[in-house]
Structure 1
Amino acid sequence: MLTTDRAIRALSLFFFLLLSSLLCPLTQAHSILPERLARVDAVVNPTIAFSDYPVKDLFHSDFSQLQPSHSFLLRFTAFDMTITLHLDPNPDLFHPHARLTTHSTDIKEEPLFAGDRVYKGWVISPAVPDKQAWARITFHQPEYPLPHPGHVVFEGAFQLGWDIYHIKATPHFHISKRHDDPIPTQESPMVIYRDSDIHASSLLARRHANDSDFMCAMEEMQYNQKLTGIRKHTNTTDGLSKRDDSMNALQGCPSTRRIAYMGAAADCTYVGSYGGIRYARLQMINDWNVASAVYERTFNVSLGLIYMHMSLPQCPKLVDAQKTWNQGCSSYYTINDRLSDFSLWRGNRGDDGAALWHLMTKCSTGVKVGIAWLSQLCETQVSQQIEENGSSEWVSGAGVSSITRDEWKVVAHEIGHGFGAIHDCTPQSCPCKHSGCSCCPLSDTTCSAGDTYLMNPTSNVTTEDFSPCSINDICGSFPNIGYCLQSPNLRTTNSFAMCGNGILEPGEECDSGSTDSACCHAKTCKLKSGAKCDDYSEMCCLNCTVAPSTAVCRPAVSECDISEYCTGQSTSCPADEYEENGTVCGNSTLKCASGVCTSRDEQCIARGLRLSVTEDCPFQEDSCQVSCADPLNPGNCLVLSGVFLDGTECGLAGFCEKGKCISTGALNTLAAWVAQNKQIAIPVFLFGSLILLGLLGWLAWFAFTYHRRRRRLAILKHKSSHSSFPEAKDIIPTKPPVAPVVALEMNKKQDDDEAWELRPLGSSAPPARSTSLHRYNLSEGNFVPVAQDGGMSRRWGNNNGMAGDDEAAGECPTGTTAGRHRRVKSNA
């Protein structure tokens, strides 16, 4: 019997192990074991106070009058103490034109922020300075009944001292809790827990440096590996070499607040886990509201929402080809695959105004609860990357996070990758040298960040801070990839003025917070006698009076920034301004662009730090896409995500503006070409100058001769009009008119023996028009009467004046030769 029992137990154990081995891969595909909580408490006696209530009725439990635009005080009890929060509306969480798209029986689109009560503020505590203990709270009215009428449910987080407190609706807490997490002894719609109550994980203690199961999914993507410069690590190094980049954390981050408006989507598994679109949407809004507090405090950048895309809670039986990311969890569809498909969907939307898109899902892969592309902030296009195994992956400005107990931390972590941060170094990845480090060391001399900060590879961190190295990476990347971030909108909210909140509001002369200042009464928010303003509330107020025009109200933070001075007439500081783009800076080797002293080479160095990039690509200087020379092959270009800063030089005398190279005109383009190609421009210029001088000389000679000819003609014309000489047209000999040729003969006149006459040959009558003798004057071209021959004899004859016989016979004397007849032209 004992043997049989042992056999049954052994067989049962065998089948148990076999079943476990079969089910294990499926479980690891979408589950994670969070850190165990040591203590969880209930949120008790929540009350609210508005400034316009009488003092004796300041706090009450009726939340029915709470509006999205109200400022108020929230008070409750937890962990044996009373906690008071000052909360104001957070209008910047939603874009003015934010839209919510839901999929039910049909696609429905509506304004995103309608009715949402989202607030930000700080903890009021004597032990903590004003506004240094941040708070983010979201209110909603649940569909399930509450213990008291007028109660609401609120969720969020706040910082008190060095601890972070998390408030969750009880049903939401049960979705992500461990089976062995404690439950509050007192029943309440909300629970609260602290980061300090989280136990250290025993799994981390057993982790080895080469254990890829605990590697963040971000580092598995080959595209991210290229940017982080991943190489095989060895433990033979003698320590951490000095980082080439300095730890000047805030250099490059915006000096004035910016907003990164994002798109957020939820797949069917996420919506189904939270019980429907309404609660899933509220949880996502709470995630972004809390995560934004960390980015505002660290980088001066708020996180906002411009789109929310909510799927049905029931996963489709047939996957939609347009949204392949919206499918159930499975072992063959990993979180990496989901990111690639979601990136393709995001890229097909084009430039929709979203700086990043993020997908919320229930489906993790093993212990990997999130994944994102590195440095893809403001990237709206999609590109295809080919893996070494021949498969492809789609890259765009996107990330994926799955459900965890501290869900907002995972969201903040993955958004950090999009902003340019890699993982912090852990004890398992240290020591490493800079050329082989794929992680961010704590400092120049310390490698491991101690599993402490927000960019730790695992999600179980007990702080909301970024490490100094992560801050340096994000601030260094921000000028190159943060071009799409927007300034806060100037919408006003109809909030109640509350004296003592440190915010100068309408109706208040001053507001110095909870304590009096030298100029202001804290309880009444009135200026003290003789004070014109309050130094605490106004930037251009000095010693309770308007600061002079020599007072600096906003000092320059960089060489390309301009210090703003008070006007001497107002207590407000003028708007922030920068040096003009193209201003020489950095020892005359760099130029200002968007308030940053930089160059194309400097921006390539900042973006490709771990790739050992030293200069931009010389073949892509007319492009504003960040293209850098490959250090391993200078003939190739590395095209990185993002674009050069607005104002960065491009092409020939052009500058970048929103990713496009803008020309500054033909003359500037020509001057820039000459400056860059002097070895060609100088010979061409000399040869062209010679040709031009020759052409100008010929034109001058032609003009001179033409002018001289015209002048001579004018002189001749002038002389002819003022003298007896015939005109030029009469002086120039012309060809005589053609006349018939007549044969003539010389005969004596009948009535005069001494006279001769010309008659046609063989005719007894003289010519009709010939009554006297004529001779042909060759010089004048006409017949001249003999009597007009200037004294010559009227007869033709020999030397003694007597006509000979042959002349008498009509032969015309022609010098030495005589002829019987002579053909002459008649003037008839």
Structure 2
Amino acid sequence: MATTAFRFCLLWVLFAALVAATSTTRNPLRAISTIQNATIHTHSHRVTALHNFDLSFVLRPHLHVKLSLEPNDDLLPNTGLLVSYLNADGSVSRTEDLDRLAHKVFRGSAWYRQEDVDDEWIRAGWARITVVKDGLQPLFQGAFALNHDNHHIQLAPHFAHTRHHLDPHVDTTDENSMVVYRDSDILLDQDLDYHMHELRRSLEYHDGFTCQSDNLGFNSQPDHPVYTAMLRRSDSVLGSETLASLFGKRQVDSSTSGNSAGVDLTSTIGQTKGCPNTRQVALVGVATDCTYTAQFNSTESVRINVIDQMNTASSIYEQTFNISLGLANLTISDSNCPGTPNSASAWNQACSDSVDIQDRLNLFSAWRGNQQDSNSHWTLLSTCNTGSAVGLAWLGQACVQTAYSTNSSTTGNGQSSSDGSETVTGANVVVRTQGASEWQIIAHETGHTFGAVHDCTDQTCAQSSTVSSQQCCPLSSTTCNAGAQYIMNPSTTSGVKNFSPCSIGNIC
């Protein structure tokens, strides 16, 4: 895993772009289910981290689901995941190498059959599962897809922290209950009650249900070094089919979407030339702040959830780009927030009006720049959202390990432009909050880190300057609006399961 991960970063760093882009919360759910009759099909119903096995359960009356699973050996290193635990004052209390065999993390395929209709199992999608407890009454969490409809599994107490306040009621106090909802269960805007729809529109206007990257002065500067690199790239002919050809096409996201510096994104829609032909592993560091840790009853529960979220988020990259997300470092803060943040880890502080999500990204970026590693990037997990914004990332900064912070915005390779104070490196922030799917936000923000701009929406398509300057990814060469159906849509909606053909071409 180390060799492929090193090559991934070595090639990615050739060209880097800068942006901050946000994710937002989902609409309420129309329905929620619970897992029934879960069975691990092994001797004594036990599994180890190295097992291949089937896991079956009843999802709804007459609908049986089977997950055929194998270990995800890309996610956790065989030598052990380095875990650091921080005291409330930000100092390191202890470190440990986490035993790979202690975490039962799996990937595989999803099957279903309809009772009284057909006894034949039908393969219908992918699966990502973390087994929390095996035996006769197993507990697990993760996600799977049936006919392109994502199903999200959470332990009931975890769902309590991420449920939308308008979601249907379900008992979240039972620690042995597993909650399931589908992407298709998320209400569309037109399905909402009229008054609730008007309230949502008001919240969108005031709280920014669009990307806030226009707040970063650096993003709109025409002399950004990446712009000139992309202009040179647009005049050349695609050559090598290695990742190097990919990184010459980094795009910059500004305003409510991206900024491709005049490069025609429609010319590469659906093109995979340049993406790896063999599996690459992007090593990732993850840190939890005190607010995130406080939502769990133990540091073990924090570890399990982080590993589970990364395992699920990795699936879309493996399927689309042949890239796995591999955890290399995990830093867990104490659940008690410091009264005064430690200057060395100022990102670890309680939620407050004086520190918004952009401030938190800057603080975390400065800290990340002091870590001596070869990771693709670091992700900060928090519960401190700013309005409806639940994620923020610098675009195209994968494998930029050094942070630069000056009175003008600075890229990871030291070039500076515009006014303002920003600290930039390979980092992003993901917020665990009500009405948001954690793994999908991780996947979205990682997409920005890897260079993907937002998909075009009806709002951005209505802005002639945005369309003419190629500042978002259109559905096709003839249709602007991508229809809010892909992972790089600016806000979380139902049916978010894949990268758009434009995003694939944008990255590849």
The TM-score normalised by the length of structure 1 is 0.48
Structure 1 position 283, deviation (Å): 1.4
SS at match of 1:348: coil
Matched, 1:341 2:363: yes
Partner of 1:120: 107
Matched, 1:420 2:442: no
Structure 1 position 114, deviation (Å): 4.5
Partner of 1:443: 476
Select the residue among 357, 380, 384 that pairs with 1:363.
384
Structure 1 position 203, deviation (Å): 6.0
1:442-498 residue CA offsets vs partner (Å, 9 max, x unmatched) = 1111111111111111123422101111111111xxxxxxxxxxxxxxxxxxxxxxx
Select the residue among 186, 189, 192 that pairs with 2:177.
189
1:589-636 residue CA offsets vs partner (Å, 9 max, x unmatched) = xxxxxxxxxxxxxxxxxxxxxxxxxxxxxxxxxxxxxxxxxxxxxxxx
Matched, 1:328 2:350: yes
Cα distance in 2, alignment partners of residues 296 and 232 from structure 1: 30
Matched, 1:380 2:401: yes
Structure 1 position 279, deviation (Å): 1.6
1:81-133 residue CA offsets vs partner (Å, 9 max, x unmatched) = 11111011111101234211123596221123350000011013479998761
Structure 1 position 381, deviation (Å): 1.1
Structure 1 position 43, deviation (Å): 0.5
SS at match of 2:484: coil
Tell me: higher relative CO, structure 1 or 2? Use CA pairs within 8 A at least 6 residues apart.
2
Pairs within 5 Å for 1:721-760:
none
Partner of 2:6: none
Cα distance in 1, alignment partners of residues 378 and 214 from structure 2: 19
Matched, 1:82 2:74: no
Count of aligned positions: 421
SS at match of 1:413: helix
Whether the 8 Å CA contact 1:41–1:183 is kept in 2: the answer is: no
Q: Kindly provide the amino acid, as one letter, of the partner of residue 126 in structure 2.
A: W
Q: Kindly provide the amino acid, as one letter, of the partner of residue 73 in structure 1.
A: D
Cα distance in 2, alignment partners of residues 471 and 287 from structure 1: 22
SS at match of 1:447: coil
Matched, 1:180 2:166: yes
Whether the 8 Å CA contact 2:24–2:492 is kept in 1: the answer is: no
Question: Structure 1 residues 372, 378: CA separation in 2 closer, same or farther (over 3 Å shift)?
Answer: same
Select the residue among 118, 123, 131 that pairs with 1:139.
131
Whether the 8 Å CA contact 1:217–1:336 is kept in 2: the answer is: no
Q: Kindly provide the amino acid, as one letter, of the partner of residue 425 in structure 1.
A: C
Matched, 1:220 2:183: no
Matched, 1:397 2:458: no
Structure 1 position 437, deviation (Å): 3.2
Partner of 2:245: none
Structure 1 position 422, deviation (Å): 0.8
Cα distance in 2, alignment partners of residues 211 and 43 from structure 1: 38
Pairs within 5 Å for 1:611-760:
none
Whether the 8 Å CA contact 1:36–1:198 is kept in 2: the answer is: yes
Structure 1 position 389, deviation (Å): 9.0
Partner of 1:574: none
SS at match of 1:408: helix
Structure 1 position 330, deviation (Å): 0.5
Cα distance in 2, alignment partners of residues 347 and 471 from structure 1: 29
Stretches of structure 2 that go unaligned for 5 or more consecutive residues are 1-22, 190-196, 227-250, 257-261, 410-416
Cα distance in 1, alignment partners of residues 388 and 200 from structure 2: 15
Pairs within 5 Å for 1:553-572:
none
Structure 1 position 383, deviation (Å): 1.7
Question: Structure 1 residues 254, 100: CA separation in 2 closer, same or farther (over 3 Å shift)?
Answer: same
Matched, 1:353 2:348: no
Cα distance in 1, alignment partners of residues 82 and 166 from structure 2: 40
Select the residue among 247, 264, 268 that pairs with 2:290.
268
Partner of 1:37: 29
Partner of 1:151: 137
SS at match of 2:365: helix
Cα distance in 1, alignment partners of residues 136 and 254 from structure 2: 59
SS at match of 2:160: helix
Stretches of structure 1 that go unaligned for 5 or more consecutive residues are 1-30, 54-61, 143-148, 234-239, 476-828
Whether the 8 Å CA contact 1:218–1:373 is kept in 2: the answer is: no
Cα distance in 2, alignment partners of residues 469 and 286 from structure 1: 28
SS at match of 1:92: coil
Pairs within 5 Å for 1:160-559:
160-184=146-170, 189-201=177-189, 202=197, 206=201, 213-226=208-221, 243=265, 245-350=267-372, 352-384=373-405, 386=408, 391-404=420-433, 405-431=436-462, 432=464, 435-475=468-508
Cα distance in 2, alignment partners of residues 230 and 86 from structure 1: 39
Pairs within 5 Å for 1:2-151:
34-50=26-42, 63=45, 65-80=46-61, 81-97=63-79, 98-104=81-87, 107-112=93-98, 113-125=100-112, 133-141=125-133, 150-151=136-137
Whether the 8 Å CA contact 2:270–2:502 is kept in 1: the answer is: no
Structure 1 position 242, deviation (Å): 6.6
Question: Structure 1 residues 446, 207: CA separation in 2 closer, same or farther (over 3 Å shift)?
Answer: farther
Structure 1 position 244, deviation (Å): 6.0
SS at match of 1:206: helix
Q: Kindly provide the amino acid, as one letter, of the partner of residue 197 in structure 1.
A: D
Structure 1 position 219, deviation (Å): 4.7
SS at match of 1:172: helix
SS at match of 2:344: coil
Question: Structure 1 residues 33, 446: CA separation in 2 closer, same or farther (over 3 Å shift)?
Answer: closer
Cα distance in 1, alignment partners of residues 154 and 111 from structure 2: 21
Cα distance in 1, alignment partners of residues 213 and 254 from structure 2: 15
1:264-300 residue CA offsets vs partner (Å, 9 max, x unmatched) = 0000000112233222221111111001111000111
Structure 1 position 162, deviation (Å): 2.4
Structure 1 position 154, deviation (Å): 0.3
Question: Structure 1 residues 473, 389: CA separation in 2 closer, same or farther (over 3 Å shift)?
Answer: closer
Cα distance in 2, alignment partners of residues 200 and 403 from structure 1: 22
Whether the 8 Å CA contact 1:376–1:419 is kept in 2: the answer is: yes
SS at match of 2:343: coil
SS at match of 2:389: coil
Question: Structure 1 residues 427, 353: CA separation in 2 closer, same or farther (over 3 Å shift)?
Answer: same
Relative to structure 2, which stretch is displaced further, 101-110 or 410-419?
A: 101-110
SS at match of 1:94: coil
Whether the 8 Å CA contact 2:391–2:429 is kept in 1: the answer is: yes
Question: Structure 1 residues 73, 390: CA separation in 2 closer, same or farther (over 3 Å shift)?
Answer: same
Structure 1 position 207, deviation (Å): 6.9
Whether the 8 Å CA contact 2:156–2:171 is kept in 1: the answer is: no
Whether the 8 Å CA contact 1:224–1:373 is kept in 2: the answer is: no
SS at match of 2:74: helix
Cα distance in 2, alignment partners of residues 409 and 250 from structure 1: 22
Relative to structure 2, which stretch is displaced further, 108-117 or 280-289?
A: 108-117
Cα distance in 2, alignment partners of residues 451 and 190 from structure 1: 29
SS at match of 2:346: coil
Whether the 8 Å CA contact 1:155–1:286 is kept in 2: the answer is: yes
1:612-663 residue CA offsets vs partner (Å, 9 max, x unmatched) = xxxxxxxxxxxxxxxxxxxxxxxxxxxxxxxxxxxxxxxxxxxxxxxxxxxx
Whether the 8 Å CA contact 1:247–1:469 is kept in 2: the answer is: yes
Whether the 8 Å CA contact 2:453–2:503 is kept in 1: the answer is: yes
Relative to structure 2, which stretch is displaced further, 167-176 or 113-122?
A: 113-122
1:26-49 residue CA offsets vs partner (Å, 9 max, x unmatched) = xxxxx9764111111110111111
Question: Structure 1 residues 440, 209: CA separation in 2 closer, same or farther (over 3 Å shift)?
Answer: farther
Cα distance in 2, alignment partners of residues 180 and 244 from structure 1: 39
